[in-house]
Amino acid sequence: MRKYYLIGLGILLLGFANVTLGISSDTKTIPISRLLHVQVYLPDQKQSLIVPTDPLNFDTTLEWEVDIAKKGLASEKEAAFFTIEDLGKPANLLERKNVSGSGKIIIPKGKQFKVTLNAGEYSLLVTKEGATVQAKLKYTEAQIRYSLGDKPYQCNLEVLGPAGLTDWSWLWSNSDNTAGNKVSHQFGRDGKLPVIVEGKGKTASGVTAQKFYFDLDVPPLIEMNPMVEPLKGPVELNVAAKVNAVINYGQRASYTWDFGNGVELSGPEVGNNIVKPGKHQIVLTAKVGDYTFQRNWLVEAEPMTISANPVVTPLSGPVPLDISGMVNPVIKGGPAQLKFRWQIGQDAVDGNELKYHITEPGDYQLVLQTVDKLHPALVVPETVFLVKALPPQLDIKPTASIMRGIIPLSVYFEPHLTVTGSPVDLSYRWDFGDGDTGNLETPNHIYQKPGIYNAQLTVNDRNHQGNLVSALVKVEVLPPELRVTVRPSVNGGFAPLTVNFNAQVGVTGSPCEPQFFWDFGDGETSLEQNPVHLFKQDGRYSVTLEVKDWLHPTGSVKTMVLLNVKLPKIRLTASVTPLSGSAPLAVKCQAWATQEGNPKAKLKYTWDFGDGSTVEGMDQQHQFTQSGTYNILVFVEDPILGLSERKTFKAVVK
């Protein structure tokens, strides 16, 4: 349970001015406000207060803000509230709040309102609690109305405050005082100055005296926002000056401008032309009655500058060369009256434009001279151009009718010459790169040897010494072109295989002496054109022929053929009769064999009777004298190729 304590009423007097300065005689108002803070928080605690404390002799606005905090209280027996009531007859409830809020309400002149805060009653377990109700109240308790007088720093003031205060006195910052609710006072200066006004009498609440404090913002006698421009620039510099002033208290002002160059002018708005370069102090003097005000500026007058800013085209080119010039003067300051002279060699052209014709090659210096007739002592820098008049320009792009070909190669050359300028007297010299030269413009040349040749053309202008041009064109000359075809008599067969090779050679170009280089793929070679070769072993052979030009070693051609050589098979037929019987048993043996691809091959026959005896030959007879089982083998071979075949028979002798 919180302890009960007295409710405090905090009252704060605030003084502030809301003044619009100027020569207007409209009345301005300074409100003087009172700020009240009120709080209740005990169960069923109520606090009421009267606002304003005393009736006022003017309408005032009550600004209020209330915060009702229930702090999580659960059971509400009597709700907390905030009310505003009119105490007139009958009483009138103007505002009631059970939750936090804010607002404004006007209290008419002579009236008072009653403001009530109630903490209410809430149950929290077995205890009673009240909500915390806080209110902030603000209203204007007094008004200072004032206007400007007709003397420097004079203000007319009137105070409105609580009814019943009738004896008013004013205490100024210089300790002087003036009596009355309406007074006129002349201050010694402008600015924010403190003032105290005190009212005496008796108010409804019994107050017999009350002081109000505020600051009065006394306007200046004259408010100037002068303008001087420009503050920097070239002579002749036209400076404009303007006061832009507001004069208060119904006074009049006079203005004097000193431009620092011996010129003084009067008036709120003047102008002056500064013709002498340098820094000039401009002083404005404003007089209002016995008061004097000054402002000053530093103006820098720069020297006048002139740039002719000429453009000349072209600055180089072949003769005849026509050049044009034009000035685009840039003048800082002025006025100016310009004269231009173009000097080229011994010739001179006056005016702002130039047209000049050059016929001879060479370097020409072109000078532009500028004079200002109004300021003859002003030095304007000369502008110098170097014009290069070139001899006629020669441009060649020689071409060859054939850039690549086989000897003998006939090539037609063209210079493709372009001449810019005149006159010219041209000569041509061709160096074909093979030791031969020519002087025709479009020659025809025959190359007899292979190689890469850089044919050079030189064109000379005999009218202008040293005016020549050279260029190259590349020609690739090839040796005679060889073509070869190989035809073997067969493309394959059984070893040993004899093949006749035939080589046919075609040649484009001349001269040419072909040479033949055969590689048969079995380690054997030949230099004949049409060789005969025996392939003794089976296999797949890549036979290559390279044909070279003996006269031109770089000219060659290769070709290849594939041959498939196989080993032949031996086919053996044999018989043995009878294959069984009683000892002694005589058997008749027969065998015959053929070789693939060679029916005349010489074959060797061998019989092995399995009893330790062997014999050679195709047909044989043999007698087994002992009983037993014998394996009879017949074996046929080609001793040259190493080929063989065999068969086996089983003979049973009882």
Over 50: is that where the pLDDT of 6 sits?
no
Q: Where in the chain is the domain with CATH 2.60.40.10?
A: 1-219, 222-302, 305-390, 393-478, 481-566, 570-653
Task: Specify the fold of 222-302.
Answer: Immunoglobulin-like (2.60.40)
- How many Cβ atoms sit within 10 Å of the Cβ of residue 616? 10
Indicate whether 61 pLDDT > 90: yes
- Would you say domain 481-566 falls under CATH 2.60.40.10? yes
What are the tens digits of pLDDT across the range 367-415?
999 999 988 888 899 999 999 999 999 999 999 999 999 999 999 999 9
CA dihedral angle for residue 523, residue 526, residue 527, residue 530, rounded to 10 degrees: -140
Poorest-pLDDT segment among 2-6, 253-257, 335-339, 439-443: 2-6
**Residue 3 has what pLDDT?**
31
pLDDT in tens, 293-352: 999 999 999 999 999 999 999 999 999 999 999 999 999 988 899 999 999 989 999 999
pLDDT, tens digit (0-9, with 9 covering 90-100), for 179-197: 999 999 999 999 999 999 9
- What global pTM score does this model have? 0.50
Q: Which pLDDT value is given to residue 74? A: 62
Q: What is d(CA 38, CA 408) in angstroms, rounded to the nearest whole number? A: 126
pLDDT of residue 5: 29
Quick one: the chain helix, strand, coil %, rounded to 5?
A: 0, 65, 35
For domain 393-478, the CATH architecture is Sandwich (2.60)
pLDDT at 300: 94
Distances (CA, A) of 476 to 108, 374, 411, 452, 482: 119, 75, 11, 4, 17
Per-residue pLDDT tens digits for 14-49: 333 333 223 345 899 999 999 999 999 999 999 999
CATH code assigned to 305-390: 2.60.40.10
Q: Are 154 and 172 in contact (CB under 8 A)?
A: no
Model pLDDT, residue 2 = 32
- In this structure, whether the domain defined by 1-219 belongs to CATH 2.60.40.10 is answered with yes
Give 546's contacts (C-beta < 8 A, 6+ positions apart).
516, 517, 519, 556, 557, 558
| Residue 620: predicted pLDDT | 92
* Region 103-111 average pLDDT: 95
Q: Topology of 570-653 in CATH?
A: Immunoglobulin-like (2.60.40)
Tokens (6 digits) for 273: 């032309």
Amino acid (1-letter code) at residue 591 = A
Name the region of 323 (left: φ>0; alpha: ψ -120 to 50; beta: rest): beta
Place of tokens 């230099």: 527
**Residue closest to 22 by CA, chosen among 293, 286, 246, 253:** 246
Report whether 542 contacts 615 (CB < 8 A): no
Mean pLDDT of 143-162: 95
Asked if residue 232 lies in contact with residue 299, where contact means CB atoms within 8 angstroms, the answer is yes
Average pLDDT over residues 226-238: 93
Q: Beginning with the edge strand found earlier in the chain, give each strand of the sheet holding 46-51 in spatial order.
A: 46-51, 113-118, 81-86, 92-97
Question: Alpha-carbon distance 536 to 538, whole Å?
Answer: 7
pLDDT of residue 19: 30
CB neighbours of 18 closer than 8 A, spacing ≥ 6? 28, 29, 30, 31
pLDDT at 73: 65
